[in-house]
Amino acid sequence: MSDTSTTHALGHDAAVDRLVEPSRQSPARRWFDTVVRSREMSILLVLIALITVTTVKQPNFLFSANSWRDLLLTPAILLILAAGQAVVIITRNVDLSVGSVLGFTAYLTGRMFIDFPGIPIVAVIAIGVLAGGLLGLVNGMLVSFGRVPALVITLGTLYIYRGIVLTWAGSNRINAGDLPKDFLRLGTRSVLGIPILFLVAVVVVAAVGYYLYSHRGGRELYAIGSDPDAAVLYGLRVRRRVLSAFVLSGALAGLAGVLHAARYGTVSSAAGVNIELEAVAAVVIGGVAIFGGSGTVWGAAIGAILLVTIDRALPILGIPDFWQRAVVGVLILGAIVLDRVLSARQARKLIEARDDS
Amino acid sequence: MSQPTPATGPAAALELRDVAKAFGAVVALRSGSLRVEAGSIHALVGENGAGKSTLVKIVAGVHRRDAGELLLDGRSMDFGSTAESKAEGIAVIYQEPTLFPDLSVTENIFMGRQPVGAGRRIDRAAMHTEAEQLFRRLGVHIDPRRPALGLSIADQQIIEIAKAISLDARVLIMDEPTAALSGVEVERLFAVARSLRDEGRALVFISHRFDEVFDLCDTITVMRDGSYVDAVRTADTDVDSIVAMMVGREVGDLFPKTPAEIGETVLKVEGLSSTGEFHDVSFEVRAGEIVGLAGLVGAGRSEIARAVFGVDRYDAGSVTLAGRSVKPHDPRSAIRAGMAFVPEDRRKQGLVTESSVARNISGVIRGGLARAGLLTGAAESRSAAPWAGRLEVKTGALDMNAATMSGGNQQKVVIAKWLATNPRLLIIDEPTRGIDVGTKAEVHRLLSELAGQGMAILMISSELPEVLGMADRVLVVCEGRITADIPRDEATPENVMRAATRSSQEAAS
């Protein structure tokens, strides 16, 4: 009937089989395909290449006592934010308020130690997470019941939450001297050569990743992002799920705020300004589709590490300041274009395979 | 078995009594009744807009009914969400299957109910095995691990059915499942439907294809204008009496098409084809003529219109307007050539609902209105006023927001917008959908008047009386092809309906 489409269809090639008949492949082959051909793997290769090139130029980048620590410590806070952001974006929403939430709980952490001397560190962490979760709850309520796009809602709460911090903190700042030594050690100490902060981030990413992949709730988040209308017809509790995604994102931003205080010691009212954009960038670079439904928190995590590492590597490679920003921009655009191209190609192959049969 | 008439006999698997539903001023369902026994396949038939889909959505929990009763095995039900109806064992397969394209076939079947092991961890291996068993049972081959993206409509429906079976649904409703299927696929679907019936489930089958209805179903409920007409045993009836019940009313003189002088050919469409949408479509529309494009929803009428106007691409064929060929896929060229297009969904495609009436009316001719590149509100109002007056648009002022107007007035604004371009051809898709009866007549009078002034009009309508009343000639589209070209005095509800449902039937005389 249509002569034009048959020119593309070259019968059953392996790539099409992989898409249409994955069950015919051996489990090992399937595993290989899902891991090695994944977006996460390609972004990981970019990261490794970047580290390699930088290390060749400046061996100290990797092979010195501090640099290994920096490599892991610097991205830790962004990792936690990116994990929460990935969950929200997978549901076809976005949370722009995380930077302000981080600022709020970072300042809250300092105030707790100042106003309640001797308060246990664990209690402060719990309060920070809880406070972040509450702010996330507000976002989630507004998004799922207000029926206003999350972009607008969280842009609004970004300013509101920041406004609260500004009013509260004024020109005051929390200084390292206000914080207990044990708490500050949390932000700088390492266990077996791995910074505690990074371990916390890895635990968060692993837990979120496991939930998304292996729990009903996690899968429903993907379904909602893949087609929100179908999710309603399916009988999924869309509002509740979206709400809980925002609560999680808020709670993780709350945790990130506490860790921010521990890591830097000083907290001003400007803590975490603009970091929400880095979180979104990390998620997108890591292969989570901006329209939801696909991608993993692992990808987002690698995206976060890449983003932070670029910041540190480009000066060493002798790239001027301005271009460093531009490189990040190119990376984001590249990731989005790649995402569109790959999904369009996959859709075309699947449709061709259908027309062939 | 009892008589298949509503409101009698022992409890049926699914029963609706006098269910009503209105959306604002538009009554979608006046008095819907349906009674489906367990272990039977029941057909629900009616013209477009008879209220079938609304009835289904009430059973599914998508809409809440305004009045009437909904009974499952004799128990009264009131579903506030799709989850509630699902929990009661109701599964609905919609015209357009609703799957999650990014997820695997298996996940689409088991979403929210995945088999879990220790720690509530999803047992993927068990899930895939279960999906494979379901497909084996249905006699189909679909890889459970592949993504739902790119599946054919037939396969998507099979997945919806697999979903329903895995839910152990007692009531399975299929809303026009065969519309996009080939003969083999239809057979496969029917075999599955019969085996489900034999298991004691109740099935509701909505279809426009009478051959299929008579082949598959035990009983038939006919609906018309949002109301229940009759329920009959398939064995006791025939196609003609069903069609008579569906059409029912006389075509009154509600539709005042005054005879106009038919002039030279304005629009000439030759061999227009678009893969998967329509095939080899050729027709002409002449000056002063209203040509009705009739057919069922999904037959390809709107797609043809959109391709003619250049909104959508087409693969082959040509469009000529007043002897000049119109560039494909270029609405601007179509507008310059003298075409106007009033789309089906005026809120989405025809109106800038947040703008003023004046701005909407002058929208298409804006370029001509601007002075030194600037567009003044005064110039907009000046150009819009005569049109609004002529069409009797009832708005307080021209600077009112278009969103706040009634459907009828919105439609008039959209028409006014296009008349301001002085078109030679007006394509109008569903001119009176969602419009109250009074305004309907005004829209009809307007179309008739425009034809009288020598405009060529191509009118798409799902309302049979409107087509028969307004059109000088009726073109019937069925599954992407024009299956009949009937002049006004020969057009009857029956022969239009037959041509529209001819489908896989061979040579339905």
| Confidence at A247, pLDDT banded by 50, 70, 90 | very high
Q: Sign of dihedral through CA atoms A129, A131, A133, A135?
A: negative
Which of A20, A239, A349 is the mutation pick for testing B, counting most B CBs within 10 A?
A20
The percentage of chain B sitting over the pLDDT mark of 70, rounded to a whole number, equals 79
pLDDT value at position B149?
A: 85
Does a structural domain hold residue B343? no
A3 at interface of B, judged by CB pairs closer than 8 A: no
Q: Are strands B265-274 and B316-321 parallel, antiparallel or unpaired?
A: antiparallel
Nearest to B99 among A20, A225, A230 (CB): A230
Confidence at A229, pLDDT banded by 50, 70, 90: confident
Please give the average per-residue pLDDT across A163-175, as a whole number. Answer: 90
B42 and B171 part of one domain: yes
Please indicate if any CB of chain A lies within 8 Å of the CB of B371. Answer: no
List the Cα angle B317/B322/B323 in 5-degree steps: 60
CA-CA distances (angstroms) from residue B407 to A260, B30, B361, B432, B469? 56, 20, 16, 9, 22
CA B307 to CA A309: how far, in whole Å? Answer: 51
Give chain A as a 3 state SS string: CCHHHHCCCCCCCHHHHHHHCHHHCCHHHHHHHHHHCCHHHHHHHHHHHHHHHHHHHCHHHCCCHHHHHHHHHCCHHHHHHHHHHHHHHHCCCCCCCHHHHHHHHHHHHHHHHHHCCCCCHHHHHHHHHHHHHHHHHHHHHHHHHHCCCHHHHHHHHHHHHHHHHHHHHCCCCECHHHCCHHHHHHHHCEECCEEHHHHHHHHHHHHHHHHHHHCHHHHHHHHHHHCHHHHHHHCCCHHHHHHHHHHHHHHHHHHHHHHHHHHHCCECCCCCCCHHHHHHHHHHHCCCCCCCCCCCHHHHHHHHHHHHHHHHHHHHCCCCHHHHHHHHHHHHHHHHHHHHHHHHHHHHHHHHHHHHC
Q: Pick the residue of A219, A237, A241, A342 with the most B CBs within 10 A to test the interface with B by mutation.
A: A219
Are B155 and B71 found together in one domain? yes
User: Does B98 sit within 8 Å of A229, measured CB to CB?
Assistant: yes
Residue B330: Cβ within 10 Å count:
14
Parent domain of B164: 14-99+151-247
Q: Which of residues 77-116 of B touch A (CB under 8 A)?
A: 81-87, 92, 94, 98-103, 107, 111-114, 116
Tokens of B410: 């919105």
pLDDT of residue B504: 40
B-chain residues near A350 (CB < 8 A): 146-147, 149-151
Under 8 Å CB-to-CB from B312, ≥6 apart: which residues?
B274, B277, B303, B306, B329
B84 to chain A nearest CA, in Å?
Answer: 8
- 8 A C-beta contact, residue B477 and residue B301: yes
- The most confident of A2-11, A201-210, B133-142, B363-372, by mean pLDDT: A201-210
- The answer to whether residues B447 and B325 belong to one domain is yes
In-domain check, residue B113:
no
On whether both B178 and B318 belong to a single domain, the answer is no
Of B227, B247, B267, the position where a domain reaches its end is B247
Residue B42 belongs to what H/E stretch?
strand B40-45
Query: Is position B162 within any domain?
Result: yes
The answer to whether residue B188 sits within a structural domain is yes
Closest CA of chain B from A339, distance in Å: 13
Neighbour-count burial of B426, counting CB atoms closer than 10 A to its CB (0-12 exposed, 13-18 middle, 19+ buried)? buried
Beta strands in B398-498 (DSSP E): 425-429, 456-460, 473-478, 481-487
Give the amino acid at B489: D
pLDDT score, position A3? 40
Nearest alpha-carbon partner for A51 in A86, A75, A79: A75
Residue with tokens 């390292």: A176
Asked whether residue A357 carries a pLDDT value surpassing 70, the answer given is no
Taking one residue from A and the other from B, the number of pairs with CB-CB distance under 8 angstroms is 108
Given an 8 Å threshold on Cβ–Cβ distance, is B101 in contact with A226? yes
DSSP classification of residue B384 = H
The alpha carbon of residue B193 is apart from the nearest alpha carbon of chain A, in Å, by: 21
Its sign, for the CA torsion B72, B75, B77, B83, is negative
C-alpha to C-alpha distance for A337 and A324, rounded to whole angstroms: 20
Backbone CA torsion sign across A142, A144, A148, A151: positive
Q: Which residue of B has its CA nearest to A2?
A: B275
Per residue in B103-130, pLDDT (tens digit) is: 999 999 999 888 888 888 999 899 999 9
Min Cα separation B214/chain A (Å) = 30
Tell the residue number behind the tokens 């974006």, with chain if given.
A89
Find, in chain B, the residue whose alpha carbon is nearest to that of A288: B102
- Reduced to 3 states (helix: H, G, I; strand: E, B; else coil), residue B75 is strand
Q: Residue B109: which residues within 8 A CB-CB, separation 6 or more?
A: B131, B134, B144, B159, B162, B163, B166
Determine the pLDDT at residue B507: 36
Residue in chain B closest to A210 (alpha carbons) equals B121
In a domain, B228, yes or no: yes
One DSSP character per residue, B152-221 reads -HHHHHHHHHHHHHHTT-SEEEEESTTTT--HHHHHHHHHHHHHHHHTT-EEEEE-S-HHHHHHH-SEEE
| Token pair belonging to A156 | 């609004």
Residue A44's Cβ-side half-sphere holds a number of Cα atoms within 13 Å equal to 10
Answer whether A231 touches B (CB < 8 Å).
yes
Nearest Cα to B308, choosing from B345, B266, B351, B350? Answer: B266
**Quick one: average pLDDT of A3-7?**
39
**Residue B320 located in a structural domain:** yes
How far is the C-alpha of A42 from the C-alpha of B204, rounded, in Å?
Answer: 49
B100·A232 Cβ contact <8 A: no
- pTM score of the predicted model: 0.75
Mark whether B272 and B407 lie in a shared domain.
Answer: no
pLDDT-derived band of residue A151, with 50, 70 and 90 as boundaries?
A: very high
Is B299 inside any structural domain? yes
Q: How confident is the model at residue A9 (pLDDT cuts 50, 70, 90)?
A: very low
Q: Choose one of B247, B279, B310: the last residue of a domain.
A: B247
Q: Which residue of A has its CA nearest to B81?
A: A235
Closest chain B CA to residue A226: B100
Residues 42-81 of B with CB under 8 A from A: 60-62, 81
pLDDT at B366 over 60: no
> What would the DSSP string read from start to end of B294-353?
EE-TTSSHHHHHHHHHTSS--SEEEEEETTEEPPTT-HHHHHHHTEEEE-S-IIIII--T
Query: What does the pLDDT read at residue B180?
Result: 65
Chain A residues with beta carbon closer than 8 angstroms to that of B166: none
Mean pLDDT, chain B, rounded, equals: 81
Same domain, B161 and B28: yes
* Portion of chain A with pLDDT greater than 90, in percent: 54
> How many domains would you assign to chain B?
3
Residue type, B221: T
State whether B316 and B366 are in the same domain: no
pLDDT recorded at residue B105: 93
Same domain, B177 and B293: no
Kindly identify which residue of chain A lies nearest to residue B57, measuring between CA atoms. Answer: A233
Nearest CB partner across the interface for A214, out of B83, B101, B122: B122
Among B226, B247, B268, the domain boundary falls at B247
B260-273 tens-digit pLDDT: 788 899 999 999 99
DSSP classification of residue B120: G
Query: What local confidence, expressed as pLDDT, does residue B251 receive?
Result: 43
Q: Which CATH architecture has domain A40-356?
A: Orthogonal Bundle (1.10)
Does pLDDT of A228 surpass 50?
yes
What tokens does B436 get?
Answer: 């109250």
**Residue B380 pLDDT grade (very low, low, confident, very high; cuts 50, 70, 90):** low
pLDDT in tens, A72-105: 889 999 999 999 999 999 999 999 999 999 999 9
Structure tokens at B477: 């589209």
Candidates A3, A16, A26, A227: best to mutate against B (most CBs of B within 10 A) is A227
Q: Do A219 and B111 touch (CB under 8 A)?
A: yes
Residue B4 has pLDDT above 60, yes or no: no
Residues of B in contact with A223 (CB under 8 A): 100, 103, 107, 111
Of B101, B122, B128, the CB nearest to A216: B122
| Token pair belonging to A168 | 């509260």
State the average pLDDT over residues A8-37.
Answer: 71
On whether both B482 and B501 belong to a single domain, the answer is: yes
Is residue B362 a part of any domain in this protein? yes
Residue B117 neighbours by CB distance under 10 Å: 12
B449 and B427, same structural domain? yes
Q: Mutate which of B53, B104, B111, B121 to disrupt the A interface (most A C-beta within 10 Å)?
A: B111
| Torsion B399-B402-B407-B408 (CA) sign | positive
Q: Are residues B394 and B498 in the same domain?
A: no
Q: pLDDT tens digits for A292-341?
A: 999 999 999 999 999 999 888 888 888 887 888 888 888 888 888 887 88
> Between chains, do A226 and B81 touch, taking CB under 8 Å as contact?
no
Helix (H) / strand (E) containing B291: strand B290-295
CB contact under 8 A, A4 and B149: no
CATH number of the CATH domain containing B82: 3.40.50.300
What pLDDT score was predicted for residue A339? 77
Whether B150 sits inside 8 A of A294 (CB atoms) is: no
Domain boundaries, chain A: 40-356
Q: How close does chain A come to B125, measured CA to CA in Å?
A: 11
Each residue's pLDDT tens digit, B200-233: 999 999 987 788 889 899 999 999 888 898 999 9
Per-residue pLDDT tens for B142-200? 889 988 888 877 788 888 888 888 888 899 999 887 766 767 778 888 888 898 899 89
Same domain, B316 and B452: yes
Burial of B392 (0-12, 13-18, 19+ CB in 10 A): exposed
Per the document, the length of chain B is 509
How high is the ipTM of this complex? 0.84
Dig out the tokens for A312 from the structure: 């540190």
